[in-house]
Amino acid sequence: MSFYEQVRSDVLRHGAINNSYLDRFLAGDVTDKEFREFAVEFYNFSRFFPRILAAQLVNTEDEAVADELTKVLYSELGDGSVKHRHELLYRNFLRSLGIDIHVAMTTPMRPSTKAYIEGMERLYGSGNHAMALGASFGLENMAITMWDHLIPGLTRLRAERYADMDMTYFVFHRQLESEHERAMQHAMVAVDGDSGAPHAGMSDKEKDDFRLGMNAVLDYLEGFWMGLERKPAGVAQSWSRPVHGLESELRG
């Protein structure tokens, strides 16, 4: 099994896309309050992600990798069409639910959401290129599974409670994800080459850093979902997963 196949398999087994909250959402099993909380918290990802991706792009030395990141960023900004800018599509989703954009922007993030956004900013903007690439790889390779939980749940909620819901943001992303996955696969080929060739590809240290970045961003995402999960009566909401060694690696 190639390194690419190993890490992709690890992504697809991770709790970031295998958890109780996404299972509930898939079934449409969320209250109105929970759904509005999801809509506002997820907006933080939508509006900050282009800035996070741009930070990775300007810190990437490998030009072939930068080419692939540029494609993903260009897609986020609408592929040259301002009406297709992803954050604008998400605003349309919020408006269709009756959520004011100013309210969504100014609502303080939950600690788990804040940890996710700030964690991505550190990982993507890191001078450790293998770690940053691993984070990007993890996020893009979990995305299809994530949308395949969210979209059926949204479809059920629209049929049962939110007839005016605009789902364009989510459906549009699902259609694009195969392109984003290919971009990350091409970026992997650019840095790892032919894993069967002597002295080709990433060093063992770079592969370790890649895995660290990949697992870290997925841990932050799992924390985001579990921060939205219902808590048992009388139990305070708290969820965290330590990312061992990450801070020292980022400082280094």
Tokens representing 174 are 């699902």
How high is the pLDDT of residue 197? 39
pLDDT digits (tens, 9 = 90+) for 162-184: 999 999 999 988 877 666 556 66
User: Could you tell me the two tokens for 78?
Assistant: 């609408």
The structure's pTM equals 0.85
The encoded tokens of residue 7 equal 């890490």
**Residue-wise pLDDT tens digits, 215-240:** 999 999 999 999 999 875 444 444 45
Q: What is the pLDDT of residues 136-172, one digit of tens each?
A: 899 989 999 999 999 999 999 999 999 999 999 999 8
Q: φ and ψ at 69, to 5 degrees?
A: -65, -35
Question: Which pLDDT value is given to residue 242?
Answer: 46
Residue type, 29: D
Measured CA to CA, the distance from residue 153 to residue 203 in angstroms comes to 42
The model's pLDDT over 201-218, given as tens digits with 9 standing for 90+, comes to 788 999 999 999 999 999
Fold of 3-251: Heme Oxygenase; Chain A (1.20.910)
Question: Alpha helix (H) ranges present in the chain?
Answer: 3-13, 20-26, 32-58, 63-76, 86-96, 101-106, 111-124, 129-160, 168-192, 204-227, 246-251
